[in-house]
């Protein structure tokens, strides 16, 4: 998702976002995904960073909860991006 975010942002003529979280927020600002949804799904980027860089301090309960959110949010994000791409053709 994050790589797709960067591609969409740069294809729209903007500089890449400063971080993963900001890439979701920017897609919300550009109308690719709903702005409120963008702020919520951006938290997944924070979890990704914790999993990759701070794996010794992981709270398994928070990870389990985040996985449930991801299973709900990822299809919504993919559908919104797909709709946006179709509208560009």
Q: Is 70 helix (H, G, I), strand (E, B) or coil?
A: helix
How many Å apart are CA 15 and CA 60, to the nearest integer?
A: 35
How many Å apart are CA 56 and CA 69, to the nearest integer?
A: 22
Which has the higher per-residue pLDDT, 54 or 72?
72
How many Å apart are CA 7 and CA 2, to the nearest integer?
A: 9
Kindly give, in sequence order, each residue whose CB lies less than 8 Å from that of residue 18, ignoring residues fewer than 6 positions away: none
pLDDT-above-90 percentage for the chain: 53
Predicted confidence band of residue 55 (pLDDT cuts 50, 70, 90): low
Q: What residues are labeled active site?
A: 48, 53
Predicted confidence band of residue 63 (pLDDT cuts 50, 70, 90): confident
Q: 77 and 33 in contact (C-beta within 8 Å)?
A: yes
């Amino acid at each position: 998702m994050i790589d797709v975010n960067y591609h969409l942002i740069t294809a729209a003529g903007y500089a890449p976002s400063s971080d993963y979280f900001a890439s979701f927020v920017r897609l919300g600002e550009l109308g690719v995904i709903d702005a409120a949804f963008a702020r919520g799904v951006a938290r997944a980027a924070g979890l990704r960073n914790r999993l990759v860089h701070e794996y010794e301090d992981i709270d398994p309960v928070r990870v389990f909860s985040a996985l449930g959110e991801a299973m709900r949010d990822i299809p919504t994000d993919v559908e919104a991006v797909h709709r946006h791409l179709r509208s560009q053709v």
